Amino acid sequence: MLRQSWDADVIVVGAGPAGSSAAADLARRGHRVLLLERESFPRDKVCGDVLLPSLQKPLSAIGTSLDILAGDAATIHGCGFTTATNIHATGTFRDRQGNHQPWRILPRVLFDERLARHAERCGADLRVRHSVEEVTWDQQKQVNIVTVRNRSSVNNYHAPLVIAANGAFSRFGQRSGLHQPRNSNRGYSVALRTYVQYPQQERIFEVFADADLKRGCCWLVPGPHGMANVGIGTFDSPNRPTRTNLESIFRKRIGQRVNLDGCAPMAGWLLPGPCLTRRTVTDGLLLVGDAAGFVDPFTGHGIHTAVSSGLLASTASHHALLSGMFLHHQMPLRSYEKAWRKAFGVDFVLGRLFQRLHHDQRLLDKIMLHAAHNHLWADEVMSIIGHALPRSSVMRPSLFSRIIRSQLSNRGADQQRMSGPAA
């Protein structure tokens, strides 16, 4: 099928961070891009609203920045962590050079539209209220037939490449065989979120563990305009609490910090778990963002991996268009899977490890007790949690020795307290 008969070089399904980033980059490279969004803007997306400093680099690659897209965002400088036994520690987000690495907090109802409009300014053809119903690969003509329903009609569009950025339950990926491996044991995490009035000026992200929530936590994220994003999440687990139980734990823990009277009902969503062996490419189709499971398994953050995966998919698509090779086993599309495993693999593996450590309440208590009495240790722990330090930092021998020393110190203090009355 000749290029002149294509409706677009690439059709991007979903105008969230992953899809808009891919569309912007491809349009800037000179390709014809059709960006299809099922809803109309402004539209909400249930999320923690966290924009990490690591977004600066991929956003600059598509000609924008956090200052442009989120100049009115709230700023978060650190993290406060309270264990189930009420041990509390607070630290600041700092990089290896000791520089502050603050978060920006901006509701997705604002951020997503701004990024989509940027893609439109770059040259992408953004069409809202266009729902993609089917993607069919024509092997003979080497082109996708994309069936789209809008307000008044159903149309077929043709493009050799489709980038699926339509969320955790992307049915196009599932129908193409791009689902989680059956033996991966990677389910979905559950989260509930709402917004509350929060006029305080405290600029820290707060995390609350709970004895009744073995694999999860509650959070409070101060946002702009005197509001805070508050919620509860639990990691993928075979013994997942019910929604009623989650809301009960949430009200018990967060209700101690803010007034929940009159807040909007909690909105819920599922977070996909990443899997390094998952296929994210088939003939003429690439998965990005939540559709590919690119969500941090420990913190649940996904905006930074979404934007980065959109750029990686754009690069692979660009080379596929230049070479005319659109099959999954050919190098242009194969390079995408190699690229995202290299970019996200270490974080995903260590995120799973942190998830298990979080389940160990005694170890968590020891780490936070030491952090409560040592601000340098607190900054290091919170910086790893806050992505200011790379997770590979936990592999440093010095960090392990400090954990061991803190355990021995705590054990000695426990023995002194036990022997005190007898003396």
pLDDT at site 271: 83
Higher-pLDDT residue of 244, 185: 244
Q: What percent of the chain has pLDDT over 70?
A: 87
Model confidence at 417, pLDDT cuts 50, 70, 90, reads very low
pLDDT at site 422: 36
Q: Would you give the distance in Å from CA 329 to the centre of its chain?
A: 28
Q: Give the C-alpha separation, 198 to 263, whole Å.
A: 11
DSSP 169-184: T-HHHHHTT-S--TTS
The tokens describing 385, both together, are 């949690």
Is the Cβ–Cβ distance between 161 and 146 less than 8 Å?
no
Radius of gyration of the chain (CA): 23
Model confidence at 360, pLDDT cuts 50, 70, 90, reads confident
Beta-strand runs (E) in 6-160: 10-13, 33-37, 50-51, 74-76, 78-82, 88-92, 103-105, 125-128, 131-138, 143-149, 154-159
pLDDT at site 173: 66
Q: Give the C-alpha separation, 308 to 145, whole Å.
A: 27
Residue 40 backbone class (left: φ over 0; alpha: ψ -120 to 50; beta: rest): beta
Is the Cβ–Cβ distance between 232 and 213 less than 8 Å?
yes
Mean pLDDT of the residues in the chain: 89
Chain position carrying tokens 């189930």? 84
Model confidence at 32, pLDDT cuts 50, 70, 90, reads very high
Question: Domain 3-45+105-180+274-355, CATH 3.50.50.60 — does that match?
Answer: yes
Query: Considering only 223-232, 267-276, 392-401, which range has the smallest mean pLDDT?
Result: 392-401
CA-based nearest residue to 196, from 185, 206, 181, 210: 206
Model confidence at 356, pLDDT cuts 50, 70, 90, reads confident
- Mean of the pLDDT values across residues 350-372? 89
Q: What does the DSSP 8-state code read for residue 390?
A: -
| pLDDT, tens digit, 9 for 90 and up, residues 187-197 | 678 899 999 99
pLDDT at site 395: 64
Q: Is the pLDDT of residue 128 over 90?
A: yes
- Mean of the pLDDT values across residues 370-389? 93
| pLDDT, tens digit, 9 for 90 and up, residues 257-311 | 999 998 999 999 888 888 898 899 999 999 999 999 999 999 989 999 999 999 9
Model confidence at 402, pLDDT cuts 50, 70, 90, reads low
0.85 exceeded by pTM: yes
pLDDT at site 231: 95
- Mean of the pLDDT values across residues 370-387? 93
pLDDT at site 152: 87
